Amino acid sequence: MAEPTPPAATPAPPVSPIPQPAPPQRRKIVIVSHSTLFYWWPVWAVGFLMTIISFFGDLLAVVPNGTHSQPNIMVDVEVKGKKEQAQRDVLVLPKGYAGTDREPKLHIARTKNAGVVFVAILLLVIVITNIPLRGLWSFIVIMFIVFFTIIFSIMDWWAGIFKYFSFLDIRINMAGYFVISSVLFVLWLFVFMFFDRQIYMVFEPGQLRLRQAIGDAETTYDTTGMTTMKQRGDLFRHWILGIGSGDLIVKTSGANATEIHMNNVLFIGYKHAEIEELLRSREVVAGN
C-alpha cells in the first residue's frame, strides 16, 4: 500500500527589514561679524521719515539776494478759473533780475525741527560708532548726563538753552533727504546681506571653521579645550543701535593657542548660549 505524499511546505513570508532611523543632522552655528555700518540704520530710517514729512510740507522758493517781502499788494490771482484782483503778500525780486525759473517746486518740511533732528541723529551716530565706551566708561557717561540734566533743571538753565537753540535753523529739501537715505540704505543693505557674510565662523561638533578676511581660505580649529566670551559693555552702540549685539572672543587651546575676535555679532546673548551648549556636548557616533 502506497504511503500518501505529504503536502508541500508553504514558504514563510519574507521578513521586512526593520526601518533604521535617519542619521541626525550635523548641528552648526554660524557667527557673522558685521561692520560698524550696521549701526547707521537710524540715519537712513529717519531720513526716509523726513522725506515723507517734506513731501507733505511746504514749497521752497529760491530767490536772489536783494529780494524782500511786501505785504498787502494787489495782484492778479486765479480763483475757480477766473482772474481777479486780490491782496496778497509777495516777494519782490531785485530790479533787473532775469530769472527764468521762479515757480517754487522744491518740497521742504514745514518746521525747521526736521533738519535739526536729522543732523543731531547723524552726528550722534558718528560719535557712537567711532568712540566705543565699554563697562565703567559707559556707566560714567550715563551718570554724567543724568547729573548735568538735574543740575541744569535746578539752576533753571534749560529755558535759556532751548531759547538759544531756537535760533538754529537747518533746512534740507525732500531730494536731499531722499538721496542721502537711499544711497546709505543701498550701501547698508549690500554690506549687511553680502559683504559682512564673507567674514564668519562656523561652530560644529568637534571643530570650528573660520574666515577672517574676504578671499581668505577657511581655517579649521579643534574645539577641545576651547573657551568663548562675549563682550556687550557698550550701552549706546550694542544696546541702543545694535539691538542686543556684542563682540565674541574665542580662545583655542593647544601649543598654538589663538585668540579670535568677532566684532558686532547680532543677538550675541542667544548665540553665545548656543555655542556654550555645543561645546559641552559630544558628537554621538551610531553603534558606539
pLDDT in tens, 91-146: 787 877 765 566 778 888 888 888 888 988 898 888 888 877 665 566 666 677 77
Mean pLDDT, the chain, whole residue set: 79
Report CA-CA distances (Å) from 36 to 126, 132, 133, 138, 272: 10, 11, 14, 18, 20
CA 196-209-188 angle, 5° bins: 5
pLDDT of 175 above 60:
yes
- Residue 268 belongs to a domain: yes
- Residue 88 belongs to a domain: no
**206: containing domain:** 29-36+196-280
- Residue 136 belongs to a domain: no
- Residue 255 belongs to a domain: yes
Q: Which CATH number fits the domain that encloses residue 217?
A: 2.30.29
How many structural domains does the chain have?
1
- Residue 262 belongs to a domain: yes
- Residue 190 belongs to a domain: no
- Residue 104 belongs to a domain: no
- Residue 250 belongs to a domain: yes
Residue at grid coordinates 566684532: 263
The pLDDT, as a whole number, for residue 107 is 86
The answer to whether 201 and 260 have CB atoms below 8 angstroms apart is yes
Q: How far apart are CA 146 and CA 140, in angstroms?
A: 10
Other beta carbons within 10 angstroms of residue 65's beta carbon come to 6
Q: How far apart are CA 115 and CA 74, in angstroms?
A: 35
267: left (phi over 0), alpha (psi -120 to 50) or beta: left
The mean pLDDT of 145-154, rounded to a whole number, is: 71
pTM to 2 decimals? Answer: 0.72
pLDDT of 165 above 80:
no
The pLDDT, as a whole number, for residue 174 is 92
